[in-house]
């Protein structure tokens, strides 16, 4: 069971702002010791709260101008894992989720343009055994994107 106190919350806010921020700067900003920052980040990493630090690449700046969410219908539920394994092999698919409702799987695809998206869908996704069909939802623009709120952490709540 993970318990987040004020210090954990503030450290998470600092590294979420900039994962490259030196621990010494975090310690200075929070007016705590450098060793406490190291201990807390080590604890949060060990518990799986922090998985990795990464750079965020703007897809449009490297030529991927079409963003699409795609709902996938399966021929039968038993094909789910097999379809997911096939989807993992397509590098333009950045996210894959099991969902409830009309679709069994929802994916996020970044393509160079609409023609490239069509090729991905028709020549790769639809060729995976178990895929019954897809519906695409083109994303015109992302209005905002944010990580999960940390505001309620540390207020006498515990999380598994």
pLDDT tens per residue, range 16-60: 888 889 999 999 999 999 999 999 999 999 998 898 887 878 899
Please indicate, yes or no, whether residues 113 and 79 belong to a single structural domain of this protein: yes
Contact yes or no for 129/143 (Cβ under 8 A) = no
Give the structural domain span for 16: 6-47
Using DSSP, state whether 119 is helix, strand or coil.
helix
Q: How many CB atoms lie within 10 A of CB 73?
A: 14
pTM for the whole structure: 0.77
Please indicate, yes or no, whether residues 42 and 114 belong to a single structural domain of this protein: no
Q: For the segment 88-143, what is each residue's pLDDT rounded down to a tens digit?
A: 999 999 999 999 999 999 999 999 999 999 999 999 999 999 999 999 999 999 99
> Whole-angstrom Cα distance, residue 145 to residue 56?
12
How many domains are contained in the chain? 2
Model pLDDT, residue 153:
56
């Amino acid at each position: 069971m993970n318990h987040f106190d004020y210090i954990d919350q503030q450290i998470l806010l600092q590294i979420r702002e900039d994962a490259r921020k030196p621990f010494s700067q975090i310690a200075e900003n929070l007016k705590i010791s450098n060793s406490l920052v190291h201990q807390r980040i080590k604890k949060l990493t060990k518990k799986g709260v922090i998985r990795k630090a990464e750079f965020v690449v703007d897809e449009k700046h490297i030529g991927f101008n079409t963003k699409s969410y795609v709902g996938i219908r399966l021929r039968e539920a038993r094909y789910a894992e097999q379809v997911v394994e096939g989807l993992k092999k397509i590098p333009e698919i950045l996210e894959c989720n099991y969902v409830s409702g009309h679709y069994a799987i929802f994916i996020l695809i970044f393509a160079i343009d609409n023609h490239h998206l069509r090729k991905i869908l028709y020549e790769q996704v639809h060729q995976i055994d178990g895929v019954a069909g897809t519906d695409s939802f083109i994303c015109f623009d992302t209005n905002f994107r944010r990580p999960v709120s940390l505001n309620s952490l540390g207020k006498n709540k515990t999380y598994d």
